[in-house]
Structure 1
Amino acid sequence: MSRRTLLQNAAIAGAAAVPVLLAGARSAGAKMSQTAVAYQGSPKGSSKCSNCKLFEPPSSCKSVAGDISPNGWCKIWVKA
């Protein structure tokens, strides 16, 4: 096995583990930081917290810690 193949396989295995780790953190009740999800206080097009499946009115999120604006957006936005 070449070093290139070994490194490619390691990268694939690492990338595959990320969703599993995130799901585990969410299921344990831990919320992610706003920085980790690239939260911004303004919408991205028509995508905004108020039309996200994870938003909890008036200013909270199931997965992100801290105050969340209904007009904000982050990279884990899920269409409601």
Structure 2
Amino acid sequence: MPVNEQITDSVTQVNTKVVGETPAMAMGNLLMARSQALSYNAHNAISAQQQAQITMQAATVQGVNALSTVGLMALVKQNNKK
């Protein structure tokens, strides 16, 4: 059964187009995945910095409270001696 040459040409061109676009599609997918991974890394770094800042601030408050307590206890001792 003979096949029309236009149909054969059309199928061949579509197959060639798909094969030709494959590297570009693969590279696009790779670049998208890489950019998403980098953005997640940046987000995680910012979150870690924020959490570290909160921890450092809490440690500073505890240190100031401890120093205030030591000073207060010294005053109480002096008052008790009188």
Shorter-chain TM-score bucket reads 0.3 to 0.5
Considering fraction of residues, name the structure with more helix.
2
The two structures have a TM-score, normalised by structure 2, of: 0.32
Which one has a bigger Cα radius of gyration? 2
The structure in which a higher percent of residues are strand is 1
